Chain A
Amino acid sequence: MKTETGSSYRTYLVIWLLLLGLTAVTVAVYRLHLGNAGAAAALAIASLKAGLILLYFMNLRQEGRFLQGIFLIPVLLIGILIGFTFLDVWYR
């Protein structure tokens, strides 16, 4: 079985420009000094950037359903790990 993944030069350039733009947005949001909302915004923007890298640079959007599905396992594990730890940190 041979499945091809990959995009054109043009697509990669557009994604790169988006990533640079989002980096500028992160710095701009930081300058507003929004406290907890600022931290949430920084994490949301970082996740958006990570998503662009995963889907386009790493071609995850062109991979099979199997690989896309098992990718959720480590992400969910980290979510459970951090989420449940905070149940302890906050409500002990």
Chain B
Amino acid sequence: MSMTMAEQRTMSQPKDDTGSRIGMWLFLFTEILLFGGLFLLYAVFRSQNSGEFHKAAGDLNRTAGAVNTVVLLTSSLAMALAIAAIRLGKKQASVIFQGITILLGLAFLVIKYYEWSVKIGHGIYPGSPALLALAHGEILFYGLYFVMTGLHGLHVIIGLGILCFMLSSTTRGKISSSDFIRLENSGLYWHFVDTIWVYLFPLFYLVT
């Protein structure tokens, strides 16, 4: 009788993948509300300063924003394919798709870094004298731009960390065709981060 508590637990409790997914979705609901508060601020400030939002948005790099949208959507596809592959027991393919997801996530961050660097190079960053010299609506626009794309970027960084962990678990066989719920839940998180960007892109880069 040298069985540990943990071993007893794994033996007595069957896996409940549906329950695991519901848990992940509940967490994502709190994330929706987190970003929702910022979307509320955006909606009110834009309705009160539509002209200045339009002017400030015109100075963002629309090409970089559009490219980043394509990059994230494609990384979401790779993530979905990685899960489809592991379900079929194709470990090698899943590892490759996970690698592509991670590389595209990194590409997103590099483009984002470039965009922020250009803005900061022009003296536009939260609280900067050049920013505070702009019109009230433009200050609000850039405040929201840095906070919302910053919080989103933080989510991408966390997502990449999780995906690197999943990639290592898959190579070591801890994620396999018989047990891949952790990869599925990581996918849910990654797709959620992609969904947020789907809204951020038109709201910041395509203000008419």
Contacts and interface: CB of A to CB of B under 8 A. Distances in A.
Contacts, number: 126
Interface stretch (B35-43, B116-124, B163-171): B35-43
Interface residues of A, number: 51
B195 interface: yes
B11 interface: no
Grouping DSSP codes into helix (H, G, I), strand (E, B) and loop, the A interface class, with mixed when no group exceeds half, is: helix
Given A23-B70, A53-B195, A89 B47 contact: yes
A81 B208 contact: no
Contact of A63 (B15, B21, B36, B198): B21
B66 interface: yes
Residue of A4, A74, A86 with most partner-chain B CB within 10 A = A74
Interface of B: 15-18, 21-22, 25-26, 29, 32-33, 36-37, 39-40, 43-44, 47-48, 62, 66, 69-70, 73-74, 76-77, 79-81, 83-84, 87, 184, 187-188, 191-192, 194-195, 198-199, 201-203, 206-208
Query: Sorted from nearest, which 6 A-B pairs have the closest CB atoms?
Result: A38-B208, A42-B202, A30-B206, A16-B77, A78-B36, A74-B29
